[in-house]
Amino acid sequence: MFDISWLLSLASHFPLDGMDMRFMQQALLALVLLAPMTAALGVQVVHYRMAFFSDAVGHSAFAGVAVGLLLGIHPHVSMPLFGLGVGLAIMFMQRYSALPSDTVIGVVFSAVVAGGLAVVSRDNTIARDLQQFLYGDILTMTEADLCWLILLFAAFLLFQLLAFNPLLYAGTSGIIARAHRIRVALCEYCFAALLALVVMFSVWGVGVLLVTALLIVPAACARNLAQTAGGMFWWAILVSLSSAVAGLALSVQPWMGTATGATIILVSCAWFLVSVLVSASRNENRL
C-alpha cells in the first residue's frame, strides 16, 4: 500500500536480540502502534463502562473469519469489517431498544460466538486457525496489516484530538451533554467504530481471551496513578507501551519462550500491582 521499510529499519535498531529479523521488526512496530490505541481507548472504555462491549466485539473475530472464508474474502479483511459491523449494530440496538445495554450485548455476543462455532464445526479445516485466535500471534503480522494499522492510528489520533472532550462530556452524563448541544450520538458511533477496529487488530496480537485485558489493565493502572483525566490518558499509554515492548522482549528470550500476548498482559498486571501500592501509600499520606 505504501512503503514502511524505513519504519522497519528504524525498529531494527531497537536493542533486542533478533531485531535483525523481519517478523520481529514488524511485531515491534505493530505493538508500538497498537499499545497507545488500546490504552487511550481503554480509559474511555472504563469511563463509559464498555468492557463487555469490547469483549463481545473481540469474540466476533472468529465468526468474522468464518464469514470471510464462506464468502471467499481474506480473513484479514473480513475480520475487522465484521467486528466493525458488530460494534455498530450493538450501538444501534442500545440506542433504539428498551432492553438494558448488557442484555443487548449478551444477545449479540451469543449470536457471534455460536455463528463462528457453527461454521467451524461444519468445516474442520478452519478449526486449525482457532488456536491463533484464542492466543493471538503478533509475530504473524504482515506488512499490509501494518499499513492498515498505520491508517487506523491516524484515524485514532484525529479522534482523540477532536472528540476527547465531547466524549468525556457524554460519558459523564448523556443528558447534560445533549442539553448542552454536544453531538453525543456522532461521538458514540465514531468511538464504537474505532474501538471495534482496534479490538479486532488486538485479537491478532493477544488473542480473543486477552483483548479486554489489553484495554482495561492499563486504564486501571492509570486510574490508580493519575491525578487528572489528562494525566490518566498519558499514564495508560506509558503502562501499555512499556508492557508491550517488555512483553515482546521477554517472550522471545530462550528461557521464557512464552506467547507474546500473554507475556504483555502479565507485565501490565505487574504494573497494576505497583499502582495499587502507590495509590494505597498515597491514601495513607492523606490521612
Partner 1 sequence: MEHDKTPAIVFDHVSVTRSGLNILDNVNATIPRGSWAVLIGPNGAGKTTLLLALLGEVNYRGRIELGGGKGLRIGYVPQKLNLDRGMPFTVAEFLAMGIQKRPLWLGISRSAREEAAHLLEMVHASHIMKRRVGTLSGGEMQRVLLALALQQKPELLVLDEPSAGVDFEGGRLFCELLEDLRATQGFTQIMVSHDLGMVAHHATCVICLKRRVVAQGAPQDVLTGPVLQSLFGMHMGLICAESHIHRAPTLAPFDPEAALPLTELRPLEQVRQECAEQEKHHV
CB of 186 to partner 1, least distance (A): 16
Q: Which is nearer to partner 1, 209 or 237 (CB)?
A: 237
Beta carbons within 8 Å of 90's beta carbon, 6+ residues apart: 53, 56, 57, 104, 105, 108, 192
Q: Which of 112/222 has CB closer to partner 1? A: 222
| Pick 58 or 171: Cβ nearer partner 1 | 171
Amino acid at 147: C
Dihedral-angle region of residue 151 (phi above 0 means left; psi in -120 to 50 means alpha; beta otherwise): alpha
Residues 107, 132, 134, 223: which binds partner 1 (CB under 8 A)? 223
Q: Interacting stretch for partner 1, rule CB under 8 A, among 123-131, 194-202, 221-229, 263-271?
A: 221-229
Draw the binding track, 163-192, toward partner 1 (x: CB under 8 A; -: no contact). -xxx-xx--xx-xx-xxxxx----------
Q: Provide the minimum distance between the beta carbon of 253 and partner 1 in the complex, in angstroms, as a whole number.
A: 34
CB-wise, 71 or 175, nearer to partner 1?
A: 175
Distance CA 110, CA 56 (A): 8
Is 49 exposed, middle or buried (CB count within 10 Å of its CB: 0-12, 13-18, 19+)? exposed
Name the minimum Å distance from CB 93 to partner 1: 18
Site string for partner 1, 227-246 (x = CB under 8 A): xxxxxxxx------------
Q: Which of 186, 150, 148 is nearest to 170 (CA)?
A: 186
> Toward partner 1, which CB reaches closer, 87 or 166?
166
Binding mask of the shown chain, residues 87 to 126, with x at each position contacting partner 1 by CB under 8 A = ----------------------------------------
Residue whose cell numbers read 465468526: 63
Cα separation of 268 and 105, whole Å?
Answer: 27
Question: Count residues contacting partner 1 (CB under 8 A)?
Answer: 30
Contact between 53 and partner 1 (CB under 8 A)? no
Q: N- to C-terminal Cα distance for the chain? A: 58
For partner 1, which is the closer residue by CB, 118 or 162?
162
Q: Tell me which residue of 199, 185, 189, 1 sits closest to 82, measured CA to CA.
A: 199
> Least distance from C-beta 69 to partner 1, angstroms?
40
Q: Which of 12, 14, 19, 47 binds partner 1 (CB under 8 A)?
A: 47
Residues near partner 1, by CB under 8 A: 46-47, 160-162, 164-166, 168-169, 172-173, 175-176, 178-182, 222-223, 226-234
